[in-house]
Structure 1
Amino acid sequence: MASTSGRALRLLSLFGSRRLWPLRELATTLEVSERTVRRDIETLRRLGYPVTTVHGPDGGYRLGAGHTLPPLLFDHDQALAVAVALQTAPSTVFGLRDDAARALVTLEQAMPAALREHMKSLRLTRLQNYWEFPAPPIDSAALTAVGAAVRHRHILVTETLRADGSRPETGDDDFLPARPIEPHHLVVWAGRWYLVAYDLGDHQWRVHRVDRLRPRPTTHRFGPRQPPYDDLAQFVMSSHDRGDIPAAWPCNGTARLNLPASIVARWAPSGSVVEHLDTEHCRLALGAWSWAGIAGILATFDTELTDLHPPELADACRRLACRLAVVVDTERGP
């Protein structure tokens, strides 16, 4: 009886993770015979769970529509996965670090005693990568509003906030009036939430930082629209005006590059800002632990550099050039 009950609970868990399960896959996953799986499905049906049979070559079993699983129905492996995910989720991705910590505590309290011990047995120390920058706290209500609008294809009316989260005043350089947009895709890249949207004011595709948007939902629907690129990732990464702000570094500098902004934006490190100058040139603002570090990053673009600021950055580039020249002369020999 205990074994049957355990398998029945795991069956419910499997139905919650995937809509349709072929009988053979259920038997393989549970490591029992197909006949045993059928008996366990009948057990669930007697308990009131409407497990339906889907006939045909692509058929199998699924939980009936309109029925939800009991909350927090995790097996041992799922409990460990949740514990690891909540402890290792980068704060840069969510901007919701405190909320993730509270969620872990809440889940542990709601778990059965055995699973709670499994979750508590795995306490991790996650070391931050130096290129991973803490995201500013993001308003969960705003994130939910944007996500719901994307899912239901509802137009959003948005205002763009300053980098510090305040609202620009009329006359400020950053001021943009509230404008309607079609929110098409919600994207996470380089530890930031981005919204790919079609601006109904100037009829342009744009990439917005979600933490800098103040969205106002509407009930007006919009239809499908083909993005400017088939590769959504390429569009987000090559958009230089996506609302990024410089990360805090001990050293920060700028340089003019003889490359289009779209190319530099694609390869610039997270925490840098690319400014479009013309079709062939852009300005890159970035930081590092040292001036030599910035010089090294600039060198990776393999293009002409001008207008380096501040003077410490220009000096670092000269020192790097001298060191490389010595290497070349040494390798060349007498």
Structure 2
Amino acid sequence: MNRTDRLYALVEELRAVAPRPRSATWLAARFEVSTRTIERDISALQQAGTPVWAEPGRTGGYCLDRSRTLPPVNFSPDEAVAVAVALHGAVGTPFHAAGRTALRKLLAAMRDDDAAAAQDLVSRVHLVGADPDAPVVPPLLTDAVSARRVLRIRYTDRDGRSTTRDVEPVGYVGSTTGWYLLGWCRLRDGLRAFRLDRVDRVTATAETAPRRTVHPGDVQVPEGDLRTLTFL
């Protein structure tokens, strides 16, 4: 078990017995590591904001504040397959890789029988036609947009002209013809939408971009009016 998986498993173990404690010795035996490793793992969880604390005494150990953490999400097999079908539409978007990772986490959190039922159901869902060719969006670009890091890109416009630009990433625009990086172009001193399949090279700088408020009416794209995505 790697450290990331162990940290997740530690939280789940402490959640399962909360508010009772687990000793470092017990946890070390459970995860087949040293008590020193458990102590370092607990320290890492605390520094990340996980509500874990040490309870002193002969019967003490580490406790988790269950009220401040979320329990595992219980998806039904139908719900898991619905997510898989929805994520199929994310091919070619900046969120395709993250979606696949999220789906794997979802399946790992499900009960074994529900996960098996979901695997059976998804094997009975069939699609017609090949997936369209989609640009490979560099993880560097998607990570930089999330972190608001200024990007230096080489971009080829519709007329085949290439330019190198520093861009303050604002977000994305999805349309019927493809996905665009939405950003403040310092070369043009204005808001621009860059087609992702025309971004030839990208470098994330150490500079944090300022926050910019963008209204859908500020962005001009030929496909139609913009709508802002929400969770509702």
- Unpaired segments ≥5 residues, structure 2: 1-11, 23-50, 53-63, 226-232
| CA shift for structure 1 position 113 | 3.4
Once residues 178 and 157 of structure 2 are traced to their aligned partners in structure 1, the CA distance between those partners, rounded to angstroms, is 16
What's the counterpart of residue 125 of structure 1? 126
SS in 1 for 2:191: strand
Question: 2:18 matched to 1:44?
Answer: yes
- Aligned residues of 2:152 and 2:165 also touching (Cα < 8 A): yes
TM-score (norm 2): 0.54
Once residues 209 and 104 of structure 2 are traced to their aligned partners in structure 1, the CA distance between those partners, rounded to angstroms, is 40
Matched pairs, number: 169
Q: 1:101-250 maps to which residues of 2 (within 5 A)? A: 113-123=112-122, 124-126=125-127, 135-140=132-137, 142=138, 144-161=139-156, 173-190=159-176, 192-213=178-199, 214-227=201-214, 230=215, 232=216, 234-236=217-219, 238-240=220-222
Q: Which has the higher contact order (CA 8 A, sep 6+)?
A: 2
Q: Percent identity?
A: 17
| CA shift for structure 1 position 175 | 1.9
Question: Which residue of 74, 79, 82 corresponds with 2:80?
Answer: 82
User: Structure 1 residues 112 and 47, CA, compared in 2 at 3 Å: closer, same or farther?
Assistant: farther
Once residues 179 and 42 of structure 1 are traced to their aligned partners in structure 2, the CA distance between those partners, rounded to angstroms, is 51
CA RMSD of aligned residues (A): 4.3
SS in 1 for 2:68: strand
| CA shift for structure 1 position 182 | 0.6
User: Structure 1 residues 139 and 63, CA, compared in 2 at 3 Å: closer, same or farther?
Assistant: same
Q: 1:252-291 maps to which residues of 2 (within 5 A)? A: 265-266=223-224
Deviations 1:144-179 (A, max 9, x none): 32222222221101112588xxxxxxxxx4122221
Once residues 222 and 206 of structure 1 are traced to their aligned partners in structure 2, the CA distance between those partners, rounded to angstroms, is 15
Deviations 1:264-297 (A, max 9, x none): x317xxxxxxxxxxxxxxxxxxxxxxxxxxxxxx
- Aligned residues of 1:88 and 1:126 also touching (Cα < 8 A): no
SS in 1 for 2:163: coil
TM-score (norm 1): 0.40
Once residues 82 and 235 of structure 1 are traced to their aligned partners in structure 2, the CA distance between those partners, rounded to angstroms, is 37
Q: 1:13-52 maps to which residues of 2 (within 5 A)? A: 43-46=17-20, 50=52, 51-52=64-65
Larger-gyration structure (1/2): 1
- Unpaired segments ≥5 residues, structure 1: 1-11, 13-40, 54-60, 164-172, 241-264, 268-334
